[in-house]
């Protein structure tokens, strides 16, 4: 595909998008960031073809422009773009986690805007963490604006095909509703659970017991507070609606517990187990996820270096490694985390072929 592509904002998402789009042999990737040092790093790392110093000049030659910035900054840039001299056939897009606000801003544009949300992430941030494989098998949601035709959407899909993401088209309302359920609201729950733990003063050993499953289920509470402040305020109505549903669900559960009848309580947990077990295992969802492997190992010297050595021989990269002290309802003693399900499956096969240890995928 022959095209000039401008990526504005060269953090993890923008950098990874630029890097993956370089798979188009005839495309030229321009990169701009508010931090000139980031632009220089991106160029030296081979993430972009051409560093941009003048945003307006680069935008004038672009066939596609991606605003890979926080939604608030993207809205301001969109408003500024009305005064830029752009090509008539240029397609504008963004990478934000909420869509209704940005689509409302884009309504006033005289150019085609197709909102975008690549549902991928990493435990790292910044241009240094950019990967051309970040979006592979992840959902990439497109929310076309009112000026976007089927031809424009097809052009965008064709452009993004090299990222190997699973591209789906939704309305902005559909997107924000769905992500409020499976991404935005869970962050509130994780944060509230941690706040509840933080209030526990009478039994300080509780925090030590939280090192296992509790720490895992509240992992997303460690996400960037500024980013989640912005997401919460931008998708406030949808998230507040989910909070109301949650309060109703907690009232229902409280009534079950107060009645203290065994069979209704068992049925409550049975239904939760059934629904959860039917959720897809492979691929990325709306939440950034790592892929965990649980391994039962003996407590002997050198065992961890033995296992990591096998994976090193197999060229399998590990994102994280930890030993669980609290293992109630959790398989395994050692937890290895991987960036992709493919890496996890290769690691499982590697360890099972070389050892007699039990290996589980939860």
The pLDDT value recorded for residue 91 is 98
- pLDDT tens track for 50-105: 999 889 999 999 999 999 998 989 999 999 999 999 999 999 999 999 999 999 99
pLDDT value at 284 more than 70? no
**Per-residue pLDDT, 327:** 43
Q: How many residues does the chain have?
A: 362
CB of 78 closer than 8 Å to CB of 92: yes
Model confidence over 122-137: pLDDT tens digits?
666 788 888 888 888 8
pLDDT tens by residue, 163-215: 999 999 999 999 999 999 988 998 999 999 999 988 888 888 888 877 767 87
pLDDT in tens, 309-359: 999 999 998 888 877 654 444 445 788 888 778 889 999 999 999 888 888
Mean pLDDT in residue range 43-55:
93
Count of CB atoms situated within 10 Å of the CB of 115: 27
Q: Which CATH number fits domain 291-360: 3.40.50.300, 3.40.50.150, 3.40.50.1980, 3.30.70.260?
A: 3.30.70.260
Contact in structure between 232 and 239 (CB atoms under 8 Å) = yes
Does the 175-277 domain belong in CATH 1.10.599.10? no
Query: Rounded distance, CA 336 to CA 319, Å?
Result: 8
Is the predicted pLDDT of residue 288 greater than 60, yes or no? no
Residue 283's region, left for phi above 0, alpha for psi from -120 to 50, else beta, is left
pLDDT-based confidence at residue 138 (cuts at 50, 70, 90):
confident
> Which whole number is the average pLDDT over 7-30?
95
For residue 177, CA distances in Å to 97, 185, 277 come to 12, 10, 23
Q: Give the pLDDT score at 337.
A: 87
User: Which of 209-223, 227-241, 301-315 is predicted with the least confidence, judged by mean pLDDT?
Assistant: 209-223
If you write DSSP's letter for every residue of 177-217 in order, what string do you get? HHHIIIIIHHHHHHHHHHHHHHT--S-TTHHHHTTTHHHHH
Alpha helices in the chain (DSSP H): 12-21, 36-44, 55-60, 71-81, 100-106, 150-160, 172-179, 185-198, 206-209, 213-217, 225-234, 236-259, 262-277, 303-313, 341-354
Fold classification of 4-170 (topology level):
Rossmann fold (3.40.50)
List the chain domain ranges: 4-170, 175-277, 291-360
| pLDDT, tens digit (0-9, with 9 covering 90-100), for 243-280 | 999 999 999 999 999 999 999 999 999 999 999 888 77
- Tell me if 4-170 shares its fold with 175-277: no
Task: Tell me what the pLDDT averaged over the chain comes to.
Answer: 89
Q: What is this structure's pTM?
A: 0.77
pLDDT at position 136: 85
């Amino acid at each position: 595909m022959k095209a000039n592509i401008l990526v504005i904002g060269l953090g993890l998402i923008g950098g990874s998008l630029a890097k993956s789009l370089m798979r188009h042999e005839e495309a030229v990737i321009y990169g701009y960031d508010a931090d000139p040092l980031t632009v220089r790093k991106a160029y030296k790392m081979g993430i972009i073809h051409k560093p941009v110093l003048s945003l307006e000049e680069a935008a004038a030659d672009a066939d596609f422009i991606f605003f890979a910035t926080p939604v608030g900054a993207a809205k301001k840039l969109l408003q500024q773009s009305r005064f830029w001299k752009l090509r008539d056939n240029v397609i504008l897009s963004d990478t934000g986690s909420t869509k209704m606000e940005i689509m409302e801003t884009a309504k006033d544009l005289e150019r085609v805007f197709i909102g975008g949300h690549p549902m991928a992430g990493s435990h790292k941030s910044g241009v240094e963490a950019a990967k051309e494989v970040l979006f592979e098998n992840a959902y990439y949601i497109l929310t076309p604006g009112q000026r976007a035709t089927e031809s424009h959407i097809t052009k965008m899909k064709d452009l993004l095909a090299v990222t190997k993401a699973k591209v789906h088209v939704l309305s902005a309302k559909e997107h924000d509703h769905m992500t409020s359920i499976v991404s935005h609201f869970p962050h509130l729950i994780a944060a509230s659970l941690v706040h509840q733990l933080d209030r526990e003063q009478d039994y300080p050993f509780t925090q030590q017991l939280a090192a296992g499953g509790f720490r895992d289920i509240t992992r997303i509470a460690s996400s960037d507070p500024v980013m989640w402040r912005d997401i919460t305020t931008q998708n406030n109505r949808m998230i507040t609606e989910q909070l109301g549903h949650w309060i109703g669900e907690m009232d229902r559960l409280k009534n079950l517990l107060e009645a203290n009848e065994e069979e209704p309580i068992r049925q409550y947990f049975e239904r939760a187990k059934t629904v959860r077990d039917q959720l897809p295992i492979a691929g990325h969802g709306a939440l950034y996820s790592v892929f965990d492997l649980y391994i039962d190992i003996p407590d002997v010297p050198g065992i961890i270096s033995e296992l990591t050595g096998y994976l090193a021989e197999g060229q399998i990269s590990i994102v994280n490694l930890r030993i669980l002290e609290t293992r109630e309802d959790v398989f395994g003693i050692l937890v290895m985390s991987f960036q992709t399900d493919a890496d996890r499956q290769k690691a499982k096969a590697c360890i099972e072929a070389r050892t007699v240890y039990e290996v589980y995928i939860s």
